Structure 1
């Protein structure tokens, strides 16, 4: 553990697991970052680790920019169990706008400005010429993401897109969420920090752990730091994003490291109960 605050948070979770909320991002945390977002399958060991924890702690939640249905679909594993098998699982999708529990989704209407984005984004990309070859548009229903990972120079194309995408988002009444080789246009008014704070209040949590990997998770890290309960901020580390690691109490090595942490946490809680 890198910080005293994190050590206190972890100790509190182990001493009082029934008061703990364990919240996680999906992409880059439970599943690897891959060139094709539709192929970002969950780490095979993650569902089993989450199933064990779900029976020990107050609540297990996934807070993701994905639609909950996509997280569930990508939560299938070759030999089971699957993500959908985690008992009492809560998925807050689209940064908290969509709430999935037991197969039911509650959500507000889609932002009207997305139609403008869908209509104008292809022409915007075409205006960049050959350098934009490889750019992928991902329509998430409530958001539209522009991925540059498959471009010859993904960082240069991402930088070239920042201003025109920001201008398009402003005209559409949306906000831009930057990430790992991606710019996402989505509705305003919700982020992972607000979603986590509301969850902590709802569950009367006495401790919290949040695990993420990208810039969108900084808001959740801030929510942990500002909460009036012990907490642990965990970064699923990568060479692409360093800012999150700089604000973390603990850094693990990508999704395999996250799964190892979850397994260790579950085993430690079990050993204390015996």
Structure 2
């Protein structure tokens, strides 16, 4: 753990009301599964987040999924004060209400164009998220080679539709430009007048959020829920969703301990 990491954790523990805890969903709170529709939060995860929600300034999930889907798959509706920024920040779920912009017009062209691109590619599936569309190669016989073969044609299709490509672990996602997890997290930190920040993620799409933590000027911590498929520079590396939840539990324990010690002083 670096000195800066220690400073970030100390700031969260000493001043939890000023802390924002940011989290990705898939691969961070939920294990990666072959079928994205089968993803669910790791057992006990909702309880850990509810505990944190009562202790810190804000818990925010920043995910590529639709916000309401993350709430459903995570059983998160009961987490106190939770905000979910879906589609990399285009959508916002808070207190049961969903706010979202109109669907990008280029997505219809992307949906139509993807069908012939993946035709005949066994194990490749298209996931329609309404405000984005993703191509998954995880179930192909050679997922890396299939992903590489699709990169250029998918990029060309996205450019023609006015979209951008978000690469990830065995996935290429076509989505509207102008928003990423770093932009979304930075805006949320400003909104909440955050005094410290932690962000945990597991994929390439989380790198802008890690960069936002470092650029914020706040005491901060980045947590990578380790993966053999990519290398990410982060302050702390843990072993998947179980490691993330164990770490968050330790943060909650430290906050409660500090509060007890302060009350007894």
Q: Shorter-normalised TM-score: what interval?
A: over 0.9
Q: Report the 3-state secondary structure (helix = DSSP H, G, I; strand = E; otherwise coil) of the residue aligned with 1:84.
A: coil
Taking the TM superposition and a 5 Å limit, the aligned residue runs for 1:195-210 are 195-210=184-199
> Could you list the runs of 5+ residues in structure 2 that have no partner in the other structure?
261-265
Pairing 1:224-239 to 2, within 5 Å after superposition: 224-239=213-228
Residue matched to 1:38: 37
Instruction: From 89, 99, 108, give the equivalent of 2:101.
Output: 108
1:5 equivalent in alignment to 2:4: yes
Corresponding residue number in structure 2 for 1:273: 259
Question: In the aligned structure 1, how far is the partner of 2:71 from the partner of 2:191?
Answer: 23
Runs of 4+ in 1 over 2 A off after TM superposition: none
2:64 paired residue number = 65
Q: 1:178 & 1:154 partners in 2: Cα distance?
A: 14
Unaligned stretches of 5+ in structure 1? 76-81
Residue in 2 aligned with 1:216?
205
1:96 corresponding residue in structure 2: 89
Report the equivalent of 2:128. Answer: 139
Name the CA distance, whole Å, in 2 between partners of 1:224 and 1:62. 15
How far is the alpha carbon of 1:95 from its aligned partner?
Answer: 0.3
2:73 paired with 1:87: no
Cα distance in 2, alignment partners of residues 27 and 251 from structure 1: 16
How far is the alpha carbon of 1:44 from its aligned partner? 1.2
Q: Counterparts of 2:218 and 2:68 in 1: how far apart (Å)?
A: 31
Whether 1:262 aligns to 2:248 is yes
State how many pairs are aligned: 260
**Secondary structure class of the residue paired with 1:111:** coil
Aligned 1:123-202 pairs, distance under 5 A: 123-126=116-119, 129=120, 132-202=121-191
Structure 1 distance, partners of 2:195, 2:23, is 17
TM-score by length of 2: 0.97
